Structure 1
Amino acid sequence: MLVSCRVPGVWWECKHEFNPGQSMTPHSSRILLVDDELTLLELLGDYLRERGHDVVTAENGAGALDLYNSELPDLVLLDLKLPDVSGLDVLRHITSRDEETAMIVISGVGSLDDVIEALRRGAWDFLVKPFINLELVMHSVEKALEKRRLRQENRLYREHLEEEVQRRTRELRQEILARKRIEEDLRRSEMRYRELSLTDELTGLYNARHFFRQVQAEVERAQRYNSPLSLCVLDIDHFKEYNDAYGHLCGDSVLSELGRVIQKLIRDSDSAYRYGGEEFIIVLPATNREEAARVAERIRCSFHEHAFFPRPGTEVHVTISLGVTSLVPGESVSDFVDRADQNMYAAKKCGRNTTVCR
């Protein structure tokens, strides 16, 4: 079939056999065609579609940008003279977003300055209207698409090389990292062993052995810097009766819950210990007696609010008695601890579920 046509902006003559649905190119690409001449859009769009490409068209710059953002075409054929915005502005927007989008600008005769500026801004090629032969247009399109394909292949190859370098670098580091992991595991094992030797497994608090070392250090620090230091001793009320009534497993759950409540309500600078059996002790650095009493009351109330269910349908609220005191300048550690312990026993004598602070 021989086709010739003359329309504003395009004159072309091309001999080809047209078989509807048959692709004229081995790979279909998405092309955005931008021109304010509707007849050119229609004819050039049909010409590119006949060669297997997916073509979308826009009559102005705003429409072109909308289509570009939604369709992400492989190639853009862009007229530099548009009715609303400059084609150069459209070009700048697209090239700043994706350098791999093929850009061919279209200009009229006598607009070479615009073409030069477009090439400087990232256009890949240019075409001058009116078109003498659409096969020249097709040649430019195919060349641009091939360039895009090569750019993508080069990028993928570079990415592959980078991944390969990173993979081999990781392999070289594996031996060092493995050695570091072994050393770290050993260090953690040592820390874990040390922690187990200092903590009570049931409550997660420190044990009595660690308390005596720590309280001595805190007393010395408080005396050196003349800062307050307080102790809180607490004991679970009627714990033996609870154990006898419901068993030691239920009793262990009471001890564990009290340890959780204490850890939740004390500061990071404070430390808590299972002193023995159902008795606990809290060391509160830089804390005066009144502040320590408030902490003790929060612990007492929070623990009393917790409901235990040692048997189905049996709800029990367990109470604690607490004794609070502060360090007196010059006194010994044993006197300090003994006074807090005596205050706890005073709380028991006051009816339990209370705090004595003196």
Structure 2
Amino acid sequence: MARILLVDDEKMARTLYGDYLRSAGHVVTAVGRFEEFREALEAEAYDAVVTDLILPGADGMEVLRYSKERYPGIEVVVITGLDKVDPAVRAIKSGAAEYLVKPVAPEALQHAVRRALTTRDLLRENASLRQYVSLLEMGQRIATTLDRERLAIAVSSALEAQTLANAVLLLLREGGPLKLHGHSGLDPQVVEELEPVLCSQLQGIRTPRALDALPVPYEHVLAFPASDGELSLGQIVLFFSSAPPENVPEVAGFLSRHYAMALRNLGRFAEVEDLAYMDDLTHLYNMRYLHLVLDREVKAAQQTQGTFSLLFMDLDHFKSVNDTHGHLVGSRLLVEVGRVLKSCVRERDVVVRYGGDEYVVLLRSTDAGGALKVAERIRRTMERHAFVPREGIAISLTTCVGVASFPEHARDKGALLDMADRAMYRGKRGTRNVVYMAALDLESPPAERKVAG
């Protein structure tokens, strides 16, 4: 059963066609003028319009155009007494579902309306299917994104497209309180004010909810948790200037689950990535990571006219520790050296086990003078420290430290490492337990220098 609006200026035609359609089970409203047609459309919802092509003060083509422009979900069947091709072509091109020529048999009218309604239903199903496929593709794209910035952009874009939100804000949790991940459609100053408020309101919230009393010019604000099973990984906040579409909870819930999956995958990927850059013994960063971070540091320093420094260290007479106490004690000593080094530098500096008993420290935003002070602090701390006391022994150990700074001593990572290594080697060839600054005339270490020296 469908609701049909019948438009014909002839009373007899309205009665006849109305009876045809009612006998097929439809509910029919019949009007005779264009103005009555508009009033009827505004008053009630209709599934189809059946109109005569010739009306007083207007025509069926105007009815057709008005219906399609204002109510695109309505199908229109045109009836006329003009047995000509041109009006039929114009009607079909303008969006008419069917074109019938008088006299119209009951079966023909019923069939035309039934086919028009079937076409409408198929179009709706097709549109719904396309939206579902688009949503599915967006969800898959989100779930497989392993770059943090690209993930924020992908999620925000998908939410704006699928929910018609005016603005989006994303919060994530990384082993602590919520913090900002990304946003779209919001002024940065507004985001700065919103972030602490939203992080406080949504901390520990596991169900969707509407948010009130926020300092934003939006009538509706909805929050959806991004959860993976029992684990809450973040929040999606949507801002609407008017009432949000009815499907927003379903769509936002679907995308928030994929956002959570992506955050979980991102965390797992980071763990695997960390393992690739960690030294198995000391759990310091390894040489692979050193080259990666040096590339970044050189690029950043070139762009900002900044500086940083490298400390290249080698333990003095470490081979004798292995020979006297065994390799197990030697390995534990190397682990303890890593802890001592980290205690002497800032958290943002990078401590690396370069290989064997060699270590490198990258001191961010530190010139040669500052690096020299840190190097001397390390040398003194190592000299005074009693290593591996749990083994029932207290091993004394010293180190040679070479210092080189960017851009004072070198302007690329290879030359900088070489200069720091040469400075360290000068100490190894001399008294040991010493700090040397890089210089152009320093001797290059032998190609096959003993690592355990």
TM-score (norm 1): 0.48
Of structures 1 and 2, the larger Rg is shown by 1
Higher relative contact order (CA 8 A, sep 6+): 1
TM-score (norm 2): 0.38
